[in-house]
Homo-oligomer: A and B are copies of this chain.
């Protein structure tokens, strides 16, 4: 039997837990250790054979872990951790601050090239699989328009904003695509649509006893930058219903491309990619794991430096051989 790809997880939030849950679906990989900034003994992990260690001990696993999957946040963790880890490890992260990707790529690429490691950044579904579909559609149908819709899914930032309102005990916010906008896009009409014309927002709120529900509703609906520009619906529910119905992290979305072909551009051609996810972090984790395999192989071939999903052939994601893939899936 060939040796398994040895994986380390850095950060044990929802994403790190998702990676841990995804790894047993891949019999060519094994989890070696989870690294945390918390006190290691405070963490209860699921895997029986993996170690839980403080992040400061990661360095001594150089050569013993093939790929580190960084599961921290994009705001403060990943920009700092990724270049540091790239000096010692091949890695994958899900850096999702779109505006800062070029800067992050450059920082990671420099370290990875200097140390002969391979680092796939911004892996997940957006950025990630959605980005791949945007690129593919634009390359195949250049005379076309590309639309990304997100949802139905929880927006953490918007949920937090509602929770900060006085009188709100619990709250969750779902971003939902506007069905009529999607139908207009699918019809090939190529409408101009702003983000707020493509999405509406629905809030489920548990109010403190005696809170002024009308006032909370108004505060939500008029909140600038978050809700004021959107069609927003506010639902007040009981704590019991909230805990039963809104304890999940569903998400998903659609990348729809509407192009034209023919000498007179007389033929409509529609491409669509969509995700409907019961668990956003577990799906993102599943993508990270597949790309960890790719990173491992790229590094074996001497393909070092920072990479994105755009740079990695799909064959590298599968544990099957190229010949088997051609036979079975092409």
Binding site for B on A (CB under 8 A): 18, 21-22, 25-26, 46, 98, 101-102, 105, 122, 127, 129, 131-136, 138-143, 186, 248, 252, 259, 261-263, 266-279, 282-283, 285-287, 289-290, 293, 308-315, 317-319, 322-323, 325-327, 329-330
B311 close to A315 (CB less than 8 A): yes
Given A46-B263, A135-B329, A138-B329: A277 and B282 within 8 A (CB)? no
A330 close to B308 (CB less than 8 A): yes
Q: Choose from B269, B279, B309 the contact partner of A261 (Cβ within 8 Å).
A: B279
A315–B311 alpha-carbon span in the complex (Å): 6
B272 close to A278 (CB less than 8 A): no
Q: Point out which of A21, A270, A274, A326 has the most chain B C-beta atoms below 10 A from its C-beta.
A: A326
Copies of the protein in its oligomer: 2
Q: List chain B residues, Cβ under 8 A from A101.
A: 326-327, 330
Q: List chain B residues, Cβ under 8 A from A330.
A: 98, 101, 122, 127, 131, 308-310
Given A261-B286, A262-B282, A274-B272: A314 and B135 within 8 A (CB)? yes
A25 close to B143 (CB less than 8 A): yes
A314 close to B139 (CB less than 8 A): yes
A18 close to B261 (CB less than 8 A): yes
Q: List chain B residues, Cβ under 8 A from A327.
A: 101-102
Q: List chain B residues, Cβ under 8 A from A315.
A: 135, 310-311
Q: List chain B residues, Cβ under 8 A from A138.
A: 318, 329
Enumerate 29 A-B pairs (CB-CB under 8 Å) in ascending A order: A22-B261, A46-B263, A98-B330, A101-B327, A101-B330, A102-B323, A102-B327, A105-B326, A122-B330, A136-B314, A139-B293, A139-B314, A140-B283, A140-B286, A140-B287, A140-B289, A141-B286, A259-B286, A261-B279, A261-B283, A269-B276, A269-B282, A269-B286, A271-B273, A273-B274, A308-B330, A310-B313, A310-B330, A313-B313
Q: Nearest Cβ distance between residue A153 and chain B, in whole angstroms?
A: 13
A139 close to B278 (CB less than 8 A): no
A315–B134 alpha-carbon span in the complex (Å): 11
CB-based nearest B residue for A323: B102
Q: Nearest Cβ distance between residue A301 and chain B, in whole angstroms?
A: 12
Given A26-B142, A315-B135: A310 and B282 within 8 A (CB)? no
Q: List chain B residues, Cβ under 8 A from A25.
A: 141-143, 261
Q: List chain B residues, Cβ under 8 A from A261.
A: 18, 21-22, 25, 278-279, 282-283, 285-286
B313 close to A311 (CB less than 8 A): yes
B313 close to A312 (CB less than 8 A): yes
Q: List chain B residues, Cβ under 8 A from A318.
A: 135, 138-139
Q: List chain B residues, Cβ under 8 A from A248.
A: 267
